[in-house]
Amino acid sequence: MSKSAVQSFPVLLQKFFTQRLVQQRHASPRTVEAYRDSFRLLLAFAHQHLHKRPSDIAIEDLNAPFILDFLGYLEHGRHNSIRSRNARFAAIRSFMEYVSFEEPSALALTQAVRAIPTKRFEQPLIGFLSREHIEAILAAPDTDTWTGQRDHVMLETLYNTGARVSELTEMRVSDLVLGSTSWVRIHGKGRKDRSVPLWPDTAKELRRWLRQYPRAPEESLFPGRSGASLTRIGFTERLKLAVHRASQQFPELAHRRVSPHTIRHSVAMHMLQSGVDITVIALWLGHESPVTTHRYVEADLQMKERALKALQAPSRKPLRYRPKDDVLRFLQTL
């Protein structure tokens, strides 16, 4: 490996982010942030184990055994899930692919790293809440307070749209269209925007919310106390509080792990159980492929039970062979 290739890691990393991701691939800010965080973890791990500052690391340091050690650290040291481990590794593989073109002398190293397989993992059964549980959570916030009013309309909007938590917290006032037909523009993953209609009750709550606390079009629809967008952690804490209050009515909720994604799953399951076509649900949730949405069909036990009842059980009475033709009858007599 040439000396220039060994010393070029800091430059290659900067070019990977600024040229490859931003300029060439036009990656979304979320993708850039995810890749950035992956390399922050990798560089911190290298500093601890190689005793090198990020600016001193060379490409040859990031060989396959080292990357395997890093992936093992993610699983066993940080206790990341296999899904998270694979996501971090995807950033490294993408970088190594870029390096293989920019520095052909490092081709053997990059191929070895890219040959590391991603780990397979079991898809957990999709968890979702009943309509009664959802209604109790939506009614839980104390609407006598500003935060309670925000939480109530925010949870209503979440259940109406099935938005991801990042999509919900990034909603702006300008994304709302409140009229005879009300809808909200959702800025999805990979810069894929979609428009989702709002129920009349949701639109009414949003009108009341903006009338009581008016804000400029570019401001956050559901801000924190500082006026800035509510963070993912902040929203999760507000949801936990609503679930805790709802558990006073439904004690079983105290033993459920209810995340923002659980609400999203519940939206999909309730739509599916109401007879909404799976392709419409995929569009509603912003799934890139209906294959992702198909997991909800797999999880709907009630739908399976209805299918079982519609399917006649096989008869237990043994069938007797009866020839239907003269030739067959003749052969039967032999």
How is residue 169 written in tokens?
Answer: 């917290």
Active-site annotation holds for 164: yes
Q: What is the CA radius of gyration of the chain?
A: 27
CA atoms within 13 A on the CB side of 272: 26
Give the active site residue among 25, 191, 261, 304. 261
Asked if 28 and 166 count as a contact pair (C-beta separation under 8 A), the reply is: no
Asked if 188 and 153 count as a contact pair (C-beta separation under 8 A), the reply is: no
- Looking at residue 116, the DSSP 8-state letter turns out to be S
Give the active site residue among 35, 98, 159, 296. 296
Alpha-carbon dihedral 99, 103, 105, 109, rounded to 10 degrees: -10
Task: Report d(CA 151, CA 157) in Å as an integer.
Answer: 10
Active-site annotation holds for 264: yes
Task: Report d(CA 202, CA 86) in Å as an integer.
Answer: 38
Active-site annotation holds for 244: no
Active-site annotation holds for 78: no
Give the active site residue among 20, 93, 264, 270. 264
Helices (H), the chain: 3-6, 9-15, 29-50, 64-72, 82-102, 107-114, 131-138, 146-161, 165-169, 200-212, 232-246, 260-273, 278-285, 290-299, 301-310, 326-333
Task: Report d(CA 318, CA 301) in Å as an integer.
Answer: 32
Task: Please state, in angstroms and as integers, the Cα–Cα distance from residue 10 to each residue in 6, 55, 110, following that order.
Answer: 10, 6, 16
Give the active site residue among 189, 207, 232, 256. 189
Give the active site residue among 164, 238, 265, 270. 164
Active-site annotation holds for 225: no
Q: Annotated active-site positions, please?
A: 164, 189, 261, 264, 287, 296
